[in-house]
Amino acid sequence: MINRDLIRRKIVQLTYAYYQNSDHNMENAEKELMFSLSKSYDLYNYMLQLIVAITQEARKRYDVDVARAKREGEQEPSPRFAFNKFALQLEENKMLLEWIDVKHSNWDEDIEMVRKVYTAITSSDLYADYVSGAIDEELADLDEYSRDREVWRRIYKQFIQNNENLDAFLEEKSLYWNDDKDIIDTFVLKTIKRFDPETKAKQELLPEYKDAEDRQIEMLAWKLLARVAMRTAMAQTDKSICLNAMRLLLISQKFLGIFAMRSSCENNLPKHFNALA
């Protein structure tokens, strides 16, 4: 999940912070880069957990509304959103549950934000068309599970991806999430599309890295980029020149091409590191 776009963004931010910091400790800067990237992966899981929290809130509201309808002899509400098949599968996902357990993460303390998003969803035409069944004609080529998954993809794009209040809330939760959400949203939407009912609770989420070797090689490469960026920054006396130099360096496809082929990456790293660091 950690990709070049995200790492480039982190390095630019870290370079600016390094330039501002009088200590100029490279080891601390590299640790900060690694921690910042891990926080991005936390945000990915946290946004998936938000889908679950909204669904759980929907079930609570549904139970109350059903009891009221029975008591007053009225028509019971549609259970469709409260028991959306995709959301129920996500709620049982082993990878997400393991992350929640390790991080002790929950939305309980921020239930008001969950309720605000829930209210926005249930007040929309998309929700009305879904629970009434009107959307089924538009999505007639999809089976029931696929319709449920597609509805949540649309909900996420409309009410979570493009939500300024939620963005501000996340910035307050963690400074590391300040500029990450736009990239993380694309990962969440990709994850929603990948869900398969046959995998049940074993559906794989996007891993932080593809594997341990991939993580080691890519991090070595990007640490080198960070070092070069920071050394370049310290050689500049004008802040704007410094930042422009960093951006040019980090988007240079010729430079990044050094690490494009995994087969030669490990051999290239020491030589280029010694030459540029």
- The pLDDT of residue 270 is 38
Distance in angstroms (rounded) separating the CA atoms of residues 148 and 87: 8
Best CA proximity match to 44, nearest among 83, 81, 99: 99
46-95 confidence digits (pLDDT tens) = 999 999 999 999 999 999 999 999 999 999 999 999 999 999 999 999 99
- The pLDDT of residue 13 is 72
84-126 confidence digits (pLDDT tens) = 999 999 999 999 999 999 999 999 999 999 999 999 999 999 9
172-228 confidence digits (pLDDT tens) = 999 889 789 999 999 999 999 999 999 999 999 999 876 665 466 556 655 655 565
Rounded alpha-carbon distances, angstroms, from residue 219 to 31, 92, 197, 209, 244: 11, 32, 34, 10, 23
Average pLDDT over residues 156-178: 94
pLDDT of residue 262 exceeding 80, the answer is no
Handedness of CA 187, 183, 255, 21 (dihedral sign): negative
Measured CA angle at 86 (ends 85, 87), to 5 deg:
95
Distance in angstroms (rounded) separating the CA atoms of residues 86 and 129: 18
24-37 confidence digits (pLDDT tens) = 566 776 777 778 88
pLDDT of residue 271 exceeding 60, the answer is no
Best CA proximity match to 188, nearest among 67, 88, 57, 51: 51
- The pLDDT of residue 275 is 40
Distance in angstroms (rounded) separating the CA atoms of residues 271 and 245: 23
- The pLDDT of residue 35 is 86
- Strand, coil or helix: what is 205? coil
Structure tokens at 66: 């059903």
Range of 34-48, 142-156, 177-191 with top mean pLDDT = 142-156
**What angle do helix axes 94-103 and 26-72 make, rounded to 10 degrees?**
110
Name the pLDDT band for 258 (thresholds 50, 70, 90).
Answer: very low
- The pLDDT of residue 32 is 78
Please give the radius of gyration of the chain, using alpha carbons only, rounded to the nearest integer. Answer: 23
Average pLDDT over residues 142-149: 98
Structure tokens at 206: 């996007």
- The pLDDT of residue 160 is 98
pLDDT of residue 130 exceeding 60, the answer is yes
Rounded alpha-carbon distances, angstroms, from residue 111 to 50, 142, 184: 10, 33, 22
Neighbours of 265 (CB within 10 A): 15
- The pLDDT of residue 228 is 59
With a CB cutoff of 8 Å and minimum separation 6, the contacts of 196 are: 203
Alpha helices (H) in the chain, listed in sequence order: 4-20, 26-72, 85-91, 94-103, 111-122, 125-132, 135-138, 144-155, 164-173, 181-194, 212-235, 239-250, 253-256, 262-276
Distance in angstroms (rounded) separating the CA atoms of residues 132 and 180: 36
Structure tokens at 34: 């690694």
The CA-to-CA distance between both ends of the chain, in Å, stands at: 27
- The pLDDT of residue 139 is 97
Q: Which helix (H) or strand (E) holds 209?
A: none
Distance in angstroms (rounded) separating the CA atoms of residues 55 and 215: 34
Average pLDDT over residues 234-241: 52
**Whether the Cβ atoms of residue 165 and residue 116 lie closer than 8 Å to each other:** yes
Give pTM, 2 decimals. 0.80
